[in-house]
Amino acid sequence: MTAGLNKLMTPILGWKGSVPQGGTASGLIQEHADTIEQPIHAEEWGVEAMLHHVVDSPVWDLEPFTTIHLDQISMPSFHIGGLEVDLSITKHVLFLMFATGLTILTMFAAMRASRRLEQGEDAPGGILNALEAFYMYLRDDVVMANIGHGGERFAPLVITFFFFILYSNFLGLVPFGATATGNIMVTGALASIAFIVIETAGFAALGPRGYAKTIFFVPPGLPVWMKPIMLAIMAPVEFIGKFSKIVALAIRLFANMTAGHFVILGLIGLILTYGSFTHPIGLVAIVGSIALGLFVMLLEVFIALVQAYIFAMLVAVFIGLIRHAH
């Protein structure tokens, strides 16, 4: 019985001792409660660390150096009807400001480099050359290729979307950073701006009658008796489809930028829960978690770039589709 308890408790509780003669499982658990509590505390710490890293907060934690309480910065608030608009600075708001500043600098530098190249001057070198290449590619192969004639009016918006989301994603990967695009309110706001631009562009290009056909559309050649049935079925589908595309934009960006952080923090949690330099399984947990964590971190850099590109590409595609609808 004692030997059986030893075999049972070792893999489950990490127990390395032996059960005394005549001992029971309940006595063992009571006597070595600290062995059982350690994984529980590690799990609780892991959940707290995940939420602390992902959820917005009025505190910017720079431990072990300092902690900045952003809520001490006095900002006004006002009411619109029964809705209170709070302009308080939070961690995500702060990093949105950083991303905005970087985007403005990038857009000015890229446009200046592009104009110099079009005027026949020497191509810029270094970082400016890379920015100019990104700008030209997005303008010619993303915006103009998907929107077509008149697409140059939408190029600044689409390219701004790309760089703003890219910087917001990257700022969440640096030490002490925060991923503002991991906040559904931020991605929802970006998608809402895209929705307004898409529908306004469609209304301006098609006119009231043409825009109405994007919802109340009847394919030509249908028998007269089928037209009301088709309208009753397809009009709600088309109307819901206008909003579902935008909701998909917001959720796709939010989910992809949040999931990577949870995976990395989960792998770190494995080290804290099961890691041990004195046990083979614990050593494997440490080495494996570090290796997988580094791989996921590199994958996060790639995902940050891809998600910014996908958002900008889909906005350009949706503008082109509605401008040339039916």
Given a cut of 60, is residue 268 above it in pLDDT? yes
* Average model confidence (pLDDT) across the chain: 78
Residue 8 predicted with pLDDT over 50: no
Residue 14: which residues within 8 A CB-CB, separation 6 or more? 35, 38, 39, 276, 279
| Rounded average pLDDT over 2-15 | 40
Dihedral sign for Cα atoms in the order 155, 161, 167, 170:
negative
- The token pair that represents 150 in the structure block: 């008149």
Tell whether the model's pLDDT for residue 285 goes beyond 80.
no
pLDDT at 298 over 90: no
Least confident span in 42-56, 217-231, 241-255: 42-56
C-alpha–C-alpha distance, residues 254 and 189, integer Å: 12
Residue in this structure with the two tokens 């995500």, named with its chain if needed: 92
Q: How confident is the model at residue 9 (pLDDT cuts 50, 70, 90)?
A: very low
pLDDT of 85 = 78
What is the b/e burial string over 207-225, where b = at least 16 CB atoms within 10 angstroms of the residue's CB?
eeeebeebeeeeeeeeeee
Yes or no: say if 150 and 320 are a contact pair by the CB < 8 Å rule.
no
User: 67 pairs with which residues across the strands?
Assistant: 61
pLDDT tops 70 at residue 14: no
Asked if residue 117 has pLDDT above 90, the reply is no
- What pLDDT is attached to residue 22? 46
Mean per-residue pLDDT for 97-116?
Answer: 85
Q: Which residue has the higher pLDDT, 319 or 6?
A: 319
Confidence (pLDDT) at 272: 65
Three-class SS of the chain: CHHHHHHHHHHHHCCCCCCCCCCCHHHHHHHCHHHHHHHHHHHHHHHHHHHHHHCCCCEEEECCCEEEEHHHCCCCEEEECCEEEECCCCHHHHHHHHHHHHHHHHHHHHHHHHHHHHCCCCCCCCHHHHHHHHHHHHHHHHHHHHHCCCHHHCHHHHHHHHHHHHHHHHHCCCCCCCCHHHCHHHHHHHHHHHHHHHHHHHHHHHHHHHHHHCCCCCCCCCCHHHHHHHHHHHHHHHHHHHHHHHHHHHHHHHHHHHHHHHHHHHHHHHHHHHCCCCCHHHHHHHHHHHHHHHHHHHHHHHHHHHHHHHHHHHHHHHHHHHHCCC
Whether the per-residue pLDDT at 31 is higher than 50: the answer is no
At residue 128, φ and ψ (nearest 5 deg) are: -60, -35
Of residues 278 and 105, more confidence is placed in 105
pLDDT of 73 above 90: no
Residues 6+ apart with CB under 8 A from 57: 90, 91
Say how many CA atoms lie within 13 Å of 136 toward its Cβ: 14
- Calculate helix-pair angle for 91-118, 155-171, nearest 10 degrees: 130
CB 73 within 8 A of CB 289: no
313 pLDDT tier (thresholds 50, 70, 90):
very high
Q: What percent of the chain has pLDDT over 70?
A: 77
pTM exceeding 0.85: no
Q: Which pLDDT tens digit goes with each residue over 128-153?
A: 777 878 888 898 899 999 998 888 89
Residue 263 has pLDDT above 60, yes or no: yes
Residue type, 9: M
Which tens digits make up the pLDDT trace of 157-204? Answer: 999 999 999 999 999 888 888 888 988 999 999 999 999 999 999 999
Task: Tell me the pLDDT band of 27, cut-offs 50, 70 and 90.
Answer: very low
Tell me what pLDDT residue 124 has: 64
Worst-scoring range by mean pLDDT, 68-72, 119-123, 264-268?
119-123
CA angle 170, 174, 179 (to 5 degrees): 55
Q: Looking at residue 29, what is its pLDDT? A: 40
Give CA 143 to chain center in angstroms: 22
